[in-house]
Chains A and B, each alone.
Chain A
Amino acid sequence: QQQVKQSPQSLIVQKGGISIINCAYENTAFDYFPWYQQFPGKGPALLIAIRPDVSEKKEGRFTISFNKSAKQFSLHIMDSQPGDSATYFCAAVDGSSNTGKLIFGQGTTLQVKP
């Protein structure tokens, strides 16, 4: 059962363009939505995160948009750079559980062309 669905699976963007990755969830107990960036051979690294009481969060070139009623959230990368080429994962944490375990989407491989 896929609790967090992520799309697209892969994305090619020109340098300077906007990269958009979308995620959807069903579990209304989710209360924390992070995005992770992963380079080959490395573990995921936290990029930016949002809680459902906020509709948008921006950190530098990275913005999360959150739509609580639609149970969807997305990552926007502005002015995409070749160094942003990586795999991106959305994730969610079930606030009704005490474990804090992450439930990941399937991932999006981003390639930014120079």
Chain B
Amino acid sequence: DTGVSQDPRHKITKRGQNVTFRCDPISEHNRLYWYRQTLGQGPEFLTYFQNEAQLEKSRLLSDRFSAERPKGSFSTLEIQRTEQGDSAMYLCASSLSVGTNYGYTFGSGTRLTVV
């Protein structure tokens, strides 16, 4: 396990369809984050898990978005009834809670295009 894996790398979907993305963090990392990055912008925080508990959700995360991290391992991010505004890169990151060491590792992201 050498990094954070995200699947799929690219997803094209029609407006109104549901999509699900998967993130496999570094195995010993207990913290997992989802971010969204639109073209020309910095990533924006969506949600945070510590182990299996979802501890914070951004106001960006509308009720069409849901995230899970069963058993504190991999995580999924689902978007229901996709809209064109959901087109973005969805990034997953993981880190280990060690004091205040914020050593993040990001995955390569899933690029979503809603047509």
Contacts and interface: CB of A to CB of B under 8 A. Distances in A.
Q: Do A and B come from one complex?
A: yes
Interface of A: 6, 31-32, 34, 36, 41-46, 49, 89, 91, 93, 95, 98-107
Contacts of A31: 100
Interface of B: 4, 31, 33, 35, 40-45, 48, 55-56, 91, 93, 95, 97, 100, 102-109
B81 to A, nearest CB: 26
B109 A43 contact: yes
Given A32-B100, A45-B106, A99-B55, A104 B33 contact: no
Nearest to B48: A99
Given A104-B43, A105-B42, A43 B108 contact: yes
A102 B40 CA distance: 17
Contact of B40 (A42, A100, A107): A107
